[in-house]
């Protein structure tokens, strides 16, 4: 007989996707399913249950003075909620602490420009690593729907098929930084010295 505890240890959590839903717990997916041609379903309603929870006109104004409304709306979507509440891995925390807010913001601008700034990306939809990535910027991109051009299009009303403008990159950068500052409130402006994590595998030479 297989030991019950050992059997549970082998189970791995299901991978969360952009289309994941948990409607019973008010966690939805607002990405439209083009395969379902339901003309009666309003734009931005949940593709699974039809819940219409987001004031899209308000969110699409991209008004940073109203960013808390945008963040609250994002949390209605399961994948965004996941990254708003997921524990950030220690390597990512250390990376952010070493950089500090000033250099981290510079890194965010570079990351947004490189990963989603161009009209075309050969890896579209997969260009942003998920959890345990060692970088808080990736967590923030998923949480704020700045992870790929498809998510940016329906959440922030910035169309695909063209390069992002300087103003758009700045807006997405601000969203990412606001997420990081909320999740990691003790970050310093100029960074700090953080000792590396002692690796259990002495042969590994990866930075942490």
The arithmetic mean of pLDDT across residues 145-163, rounded, is 97
The yes-or-no verdict on residue 7 having pLDDT over 50 is: no
The yes-or-no verdict on residue 114 having pLDDT over 60 is: yes
The arithmetic mean of pLDDT across residues 142-166, rounded, is 97
User: For 66, phi and psi rounded to 5 degrees?
Assistant: -115, 25
Predicted pLDDT of residue 155: 98
Distance CA 97, CA 90 (A): 10
Predicted pLDDT of residue 15: 79
Torsion of CA 101, 72, 88, 192, to 10 degrees: 20
Alpha-helical runs (H) found in the chain: 4-10, 56-59, 67-74, 78-85, 90-115, 136-143, 149-156, 166-183
The DSSP 8-state label assigned to residue 24 in this structure reads G
Q: Which of the four pLDDT bands, split at 50, 70 and 90, describes residue 119?
A: very high
Q: Which of the four pLDDT bands, split at 50, 70 and 90, describes residue 4?
A: very low
pTM, entire model: 0.87
What is the per-residue pLDDT across 85-102, written as a single tens digit (0 to 9) for each?
999 999 999 999 999 999
Provide the β-strand partners of residue 22: 27
Evaluate whether 167 touches 113 at the Cβ level (below 8 Å): no
Q: What is the DSSP string of 49-95?
A: T------HHHHTT--GGGHHHHHHHHTTBHHHHHHHHSPPPHHHHHH
What is the per-residue pLDDT across 161-170, written as a single tens digit (0 to 9) for each?
999 999 999 9
């Amino acid at each position: 007989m297989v030991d019950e505890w050992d059997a549970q240890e082998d189970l791995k959590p299901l991978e969360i996707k952009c289309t994941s839903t948990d409607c019973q717990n008010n966690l939805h997916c607002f990405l439209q399913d083009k395969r379902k041609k339901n003309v009666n379903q309003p734009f931005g309603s949940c593709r699974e249950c039809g819940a219409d929870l987001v004031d899209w006109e308000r969110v699409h104004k991209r008004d940073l003075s109203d960013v808390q409304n945008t963040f609250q709306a994002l949390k209605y979507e399961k994948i965004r909620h996941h990254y708003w509440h997921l524990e950030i891995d220690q390597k990512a925390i250390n990376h952010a602490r070493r950089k500090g807010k000033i250099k981290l913001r510079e890194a965010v601008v570079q990351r947004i420009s490189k990963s989603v700034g161009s009209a075309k990306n050969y890896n579209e939809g997969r260009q942003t690593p998920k959890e345990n990535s060692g970088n808080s910027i990736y967590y923030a991109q998923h949480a704020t729907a700045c992870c790929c051009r498809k998510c940016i299009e329906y959440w922030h009303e910035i169309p695909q098929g063209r390069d992002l403008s300087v103003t758009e990159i700045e807006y997405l950068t601000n969203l990412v930084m606001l997420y990081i500052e909320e999740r990691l409130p003790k970050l310093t402006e100029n960074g700090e010295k953080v000792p590396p994590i002692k690796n259990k595998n002495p042969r590994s030479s990866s930075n942490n």
